[in-house]
Amino acid sequence: MQNKNVDDLVRSFKTNALRIAVPACIVILAIGVTFVNYRFMSVRNMTAILYGIAPAGIVGMGMALLLFSGRFDLSVGGIAALCAVAGARLMNDYGLGVALPAVVVIGIACGAVNGFVIFRLKVNSFVATLGSGYAFSGVAAVLSGQSPVSVHDLSWTDFLNFQLVSVPVVIWLYGAIVVVSLWFSHTVAGRSLYAVGANEEAARYAGVPVTLVSVLPFLITGAYCAVAGMVTVGYNAAGLATTGSDWPLTAIAGAVIGGVSITGGEGSIIAAFIGMFLIGVVQNALVFTNVDTNYQTIILGFVIVLAVTTDIMARKRLMQMSGRDADAPEAPVVQPKSTQSP
């Protein structure tokens, strides 16, 4: 019995070691960069990192909720672009007070479109959101015309950059989104997302209204995309139709690096936040060490593949650990020796 416990401990350590492998590498990288340039670890630089990842990070919180339920949304860039352009135009025409609530409604409506296609028309979330994302960015391009929609009144930009307790308001906003997401993930609706992600059939048998709870994170993600789109309007003092083109990948990668399972049912909001922060650290460290932007993309792509790989390896190991007593045998395929009869 003792032996078994020790053995299980070793196994679980090995599994967890796999899980934290990528984050650990990034932390080591950060320490290394600090030796090259001590300013890297400063509060000021950490604030800069959060400032940089805030828009994609806000979207990443919605993406994490979707990943818990075993789905994802590739249209987040498109929704954000649509909201950014529409938001900039509404700000110019009607002011911030109208623009803000209006884009949130637009974002939720986009999420509802995704939900309708996925749950009513039964298209899988990959195809549905890949397609709708194109459509949303198309609408953004039409609304924007040839050039970005410049914002005349810079009060929104000033507001986001206003230092509240020596931290810009946009970071407080990001923090608020994290807290709201964290709260949601612990509610009955949030807990049921994990059940749907782990085993949709079992969740249905246990009385989880699967469609209702699965559509919620799409609506939430839509709203978050609107907020993120408006943040970029503040950053750029303009609404760009190209906003967020790399967000789907960044948002998924951040969550997965933090330990949210790409196959659903596992992970936490905090993990997704940490993962996104680590992506910011990598990008920032590469800037600090004067690595070309194009190389940054290569390295980031590599990190993402590595994170997904370790997630799958850890999952496999976990299955082996506990699946050893299973009754059902792995079925080998019986194949004929030759196609000729004797």
Partner 1 sequence: MSAAPTAPLLRIVDVGKVYPPNVRALNGITLDIRAGEVTALLGANGAGKSTLARILTGVERPTSGTLHLDGRPIELADTRDAHRHGIACIYQELPLLPNLSAAENITLGHTGRPFLGLWSPQPSRRVYAELAKEIPDAPPPDVLVGQLSVAQRQKVAFIRALAAHPRLLIVDEGTSSLSLSERQEMQSLLRSLAHARGIAVIYITHFIDDALSCSDRIVALLDGKLALDRPSADTARADVLHILGGGAAAATARAEAAARVKPVERKTAGSGAGLTVTNLACSGVAPLSFSTGVGECLGLYGPPGCGATEALRAVAGLSPHSGRVDWNGEVLPSAMAQRVLRNVVYCNGDRAKNLILSWTVAGNINLLYLFRQALLSIPSAAAARARAADVVSRFAIKGTPNEAIRNLSGGNQQRVAVARTVSLGLPLLLIGDDLTRGVDIVGRSHIHGLLRAAAGQGAAILLYSSDPEEIANLCDRVLVLRDGHIVDVMRRPNISVPSLEAAVQVGRRAHA
Nearer to partner 1, 39 or 120 (CB): 120
Rule CB under 8 A: is residue 341 a binding residue for partner 1?
yes
Of positions 57, 265, 267, 280, contacts partner 1 by CB under 8 A: 265
8 Å CB contact between 68 and 187? no
Stretch in the footprint of partner 1 (CB under 8 A) among 63-71, 132-140, 249-257, 321-329: 321-329
Rule CB under 8 A: is residue 93 a binding residue for partner 1?
no
Q: Which of residues 218-257 bind partner 1 (CB under 8 A)?
A: none
Of positions 100, 105, 198, 312, contacts partner 1 by CB under 8 A: 198
Separation CA 196–CA 84 (nearest Å): 32
Q: How many CA atoms lie within 13 A of 118 on its CB side?
A: 31
Helix orientation angle between 169-186 and 269-288, rounded to the nearest 10 degrees: 150
**CA dihedral of 295, 298, 301, 303, whole degrees rounded to 10:** -70
Stretch in the footprint of partner 1 (CB under 8 A) among 68-76, 144-152, 171-179, 203-211: 203-211
8 Å CB contact between 90 and 245? no
Of positions 35, 93, 121, 330, contacts partner 1 by CB under 8 A: 330
**Burial grade of 187 (CB within 10 A; 0-12, 13-18, 19 or more):** exposed
Rule CB under 8 A: is residue 271 a binding residue for partner 1?
no
Taking the complex as a whole, the smallest distance from the CB of residue 215 to partner 1 amounts, in Å, to 13
8 Å CB contact between 250 and 242? no
Separation CA 48–CA 33 (nearest Å): 16
Of positions 50, 56, 103, 208, contacts partner 1 by CB under 8 A: 208
Q: How far is CA 340 from CA 230, 332, 333, in A?
A: 70, 22, 19
Nearer to partner 1, 55 or 190 (CB): 190
Rule CB under 8 A: is residue 122 a binding residue for partner 1?
no
- Collapsing DSSP states into helix, strand and coil, what is residue 167? strand
Rule CB under 8 A: is residue 125 a binding residue for partner 1?
no
Q: Which of residues 7-26 bind partner 1 (CB under 8 A)?
A: 7-8
**Burial grade of 313 (CB within 10 A; 0-12, 13-18, 19 or more):** middle
8 Å CB contact between 186 and 73? no
User: Token digits for 21?
Assistant: 């492998």
Nearer to partner 1, 309 or 320 (CB): 320
8 Å CB contact between 82 and 140? yes
Of positions 4, 44, 122, 152, contacts partner 1 by CB under 8 A: 4
Of positions 127, 186, 298, 301, contacts partner 1 by CB under 8 A: 186
Separation CA 342–CA 329 (nearest Å): 31
Please give the single-letter amino acid code of residue 310: T
| Among 83, 90, 99, residue whose Cα is nearest residue 139 | 83
Stretch in the footprint of partner 1 (CB under 8 A) among 84-92, 107-115, 120-128, 319-327: 319-327
Q: How many residues bind partner 1 (CB under 8 A)?
A: 49
Rule CB under 8 A: is residue 334 a binding residue for partner 1?
yes
Rule CB under 8 A: is residue 121 a binding residue for partner 1?
no
Backbone angles phi, psi at 84, to 5 degrees: -65, -50
Of positions 41, 206, 298, 305, contacts partner 1 by CB under 8 A: 206
Taking the complex as a whole, the smallest distance from the CB of residue 329 to partner 1 amounts, in Å, to 5
Of positions 109, 204, 236, 274, contacts partner 1 by CB under 8 A: 204
Separation CA 128–CA 149 (nearest Å): 28
Taking the complex as a whole, the smallest distance from the CB of residue 262 to partner 1 amounts, in Å, to 15
Taking the complex as a whole, the smallest distance from the CB of residue 309 to partner 1 amounts, in Å, to 20
Provide the binding-site residues for partner 1, judged by CB under 8 A: 3-4, 7-8, 183-184, 186-189, 191-192, 195, 198-199, 201-210, 212, 265-266, 322-342
